[in-house]
Amino acid sequence: MKTSRPAADVLLLPRPQSLTRQAGAFRLPACPEFEVSRDAAELAEIMLQEWPAEQDEPTALFSGEAGFSFRLGDPTTKLRAPEDRQGFVLAISSKGVLARARTYPGLLYAWQALKQLLRQFPGRLPCLTIRDWPDIPWRTYHLDLKGTCRTFDNLLAILPDLAEWRINTLLAEYEDYLRLDRHPDIAVPEALTPAQIRIFLAEAARYGITVVPLVQTLGHLQFLLTKPAYAHLREDPADPAEACSTHPDTWPLIRDFIDELIDLHPGVPFLHVGLDETARVGTCPRCKKALKGQPRITRYLDWVNRVAAHCAERGVTPLLWGDVIAKEMNPAVIRRLPREAIYCDWGYTETAPLHYNLRRFRGGLLSRAWLKRPEGRIDTLPRLNFSGKPRFFEDLPAADQRALAPFMANPEAPRWLPSDAVPKLFRRHGLTLGTVGGIRVSFHGCMAPRFITGQLNTLETCNACKRNEGLFAIGSSWSRGHSLAGINAHPELDWYGIATLGAAGWSSVEESDLRDFDVRFAFQFFGLPDGEIGDLYFLHERTSPRADHLHDNYLPHVLDRLAALRPAVTRNRTRFDLFKAVCEAHLLRFRAQFALLEMEYFYAMWERVAPAFRARILKDTGAIRDAINRARPALAREYARTITAGEAAELAATQLNYARDSMLAMAEKMRKRMVLK
């Protein structure tokens, strides 16, 4: 369904906090001459780079007054810089354009707003005044480089777009994609060098972006503990996921990682220290002896305090994932946490203010109400995914139920809980808060992010952050579940989610605004006249991964519409074409799954199936095999435009080979049965 809007609407994204229209317009001169304040010389360089790309004509820039401002023409408006350090004021009158800010990032955002206005109103800008500032101080995109490793050129190329969507922090998870001086043996051959990191940091700063490194300090150390030289540090000899927190060699190694990353990012205010999903902490004989009968969480708390204290000594504030603490639901545990840290809560399935999230407490809980069929709709039932014997909320001791009560205050509890239950828990106990939504996570699958689920999750993440006075809204984009897991979807499909994070982190966005969001995103990112791209993302997500649900295969329609829209795309064509290539690959995967299912359907009666029919089925498998074998190298080349060649090939194989090989294995079984007969 297409959405039409009056031509006079101003399609800025993020939407400004305050925009006032006035009568009249400012006609751009043939060769505009911007005057940029002396303290914003780097912005002048950005404007010189970006103006020709947007307007197809050159511009001249001159240094002006001190402070942070730019002007075009002879504006008579007098403006004061806003108090907010990231805010700006942009005024367009019939005489010219004037922008002021208190800091460099604020003025950079004023340029982003003007750049978007120039796209919509080329040559004749409407008279208006924008006063703008962010709701959330740190709007953070997770740059996960342990899989789908972006090339160095691509790392530089994404910075202007991140700045346009008002992303001001990159959470860089390097793992073995960074060559460290103290431990060079860990890095993969194509790893980034310290010299490249310095270039990247300088370029990020030009775009108002702080790069915050993430170093795993206890769990998710598969990339390290699989190496023979470090295997002795495992908590469990059979599992390379976690290091033993009491082994005497663990802390010196982790301290080296922390120190070198801080040194490589001079002046960085934060360091993310991981510490999520540490399921085995305190289980090895050495740890059990150190615990002396205390709960295993004690080892975790000791380690958190040790890491946080060292970060404080180095002058940085530690961030850590909040899942281990959230499961405890124990004030005595929370009181032992370092107050200088920032605790980042993630709940990737939460897509509305009320949601099923009991599973996040005490290692996972269910409510018996969830197991009852409702009288009407069933599409709102939770995805249970429990294994073993379930643990029910209704069976909790009274003390535990009382501990949960403050975070369940709604008439539907325990059937429904507030999505911000964990942020409320953290805030109630005096912890500094960050919230985390899932732009690209493992349960989305390997083809593409679940665009709409991720968007709703990001929206709720940002709203929860605002309601609970959080400092960070993080859009996580996991390239792999961990370094030994399969690759998730291509990172250049993240832009819809990144734009949502920027829009909802900067100003107010509600579910009722999302059709409007699609129009703004489609215009600013692709140059498209309406928001149909949002519908196509929705239909891609709604396409069933099971081939027997033929009525849920929307891919032919999506591909037809992408082909129809392609001539109207004026910006980011390679990213538009990437989505089209993924849809084509997804359709091939779908065909292989259907062929497999068709053989399964006839498996028990294969000998009774007409020979011509059997021959047709087996012939189809050959045709699908050949189509996949032709498509996979081309898909890998498409991916290798922006990620390393090895990981491009792995992602294409992950997406296509399993479905192909499963289909061929079944076809071989069917052929053998025909021969045996």
What is residue 386's DSSP assignment? Answer: -
pLDDT, average across residues 507-535: 96
Percent of the chain with pLDDT over 70: 96
Residues 6+ apart with CB under 8 A from 309: 338
What is residue 568's DSSP assignment? Answer: G
Residue 1: which pLDDT band, with cuts at 50, 70 and 90?
A: very low
pLDDT tens for each residue of 274-305: 999 999 999 999 999 999 999 999 999 999 99
pLDDT at position 545 is: 66
Percent of the chain with pLDDT over 90: 78
Whether the ω angle into residue 414 lies within 30 degrees of 0, i.e. cis, is: yes
pLDDT tens for each residue of 176-224: 999 999 999 999 999 999 999 999 999 999 999 999 999 999 999 999 9
The beta-strand segments (E) located in 458-560 are 472-477
Copy the structure tokens of residue 415. Answer: 């059937």
Burial of residue 675, with CB atoms counted within 10 A of its CB: 0-12 exposed, 13-18 middle, 19 or more buried: exposed
Q: What is the DSSP string of 286-351?
A: HHHHHHTT--THHHHHHHHHHHHHHHHHTT-EEEEE-HHHHHH--HHHHHTS-TTSEEEEE-TT--
Instruction: Note whether 240 and 226 are within 8 A (CB).
Output: yes
Question: What phi, psi does 51 have (nearest 5°)?
Answer: -60, -50
pLDDT, average across residues 254-259: 98
| pTM of the predicted structure, to 2 decimals | 0.95
pLDDT at position 547 is: 56
For residue 40, pLDDT beyond 60: yes
Q: How far apart are CA 76 and CA 96, in angstroms?
A: 8
Q: How far apart are CA 505 and CA 496, in angstroms?
A: 14
Residue with tokens 């498509």: 631
For domain 138-353+419-506, give the CATH number: 3.20.20.80
Which one has a higher pLDDT value, 31 or 466? 466
**Widest CA span of the chain, in angstroms?**
92
For residue 669, pLDDT beyond 70: yes
pLDDT, average across residues 20-30: 94
CATH number for 18-132: choose from 3.40.1190.20, 3.30.379.10, 3.40.50.2300, 3.40.50.720: 3.30.379.10
Which one has a higher pLDDT value, 115 or 380? 115
For residue 361, pLDDT beyond 60: yes
Which one has a higher pLDDT value, 160 or 548? 160
For the chain, give every domain's residue range: 18-132, 138-353+419-506, 364-417, 543-676
Q: How far apart are CA 228 and CA 226, in angstroms?
A: 6
Instruction: Note whether 587 and 657 are within 8 A (CB).
Output: no
Q: How far apart are CA 603 and CA 596, in angstroms?
A: 10
For residue 3, pLDDT beyond 50: no
pLDDT at position 268 is: 98
Question: What phi, psi does 63 have (nearest 5°)?
Answer: -75, 135
Q: How far apart are CA 203 and CA 45, in angstroms?
A: 12
Residue with tokens 């990213």: 575
Average pLDDT taken over every residue of the chain: 92
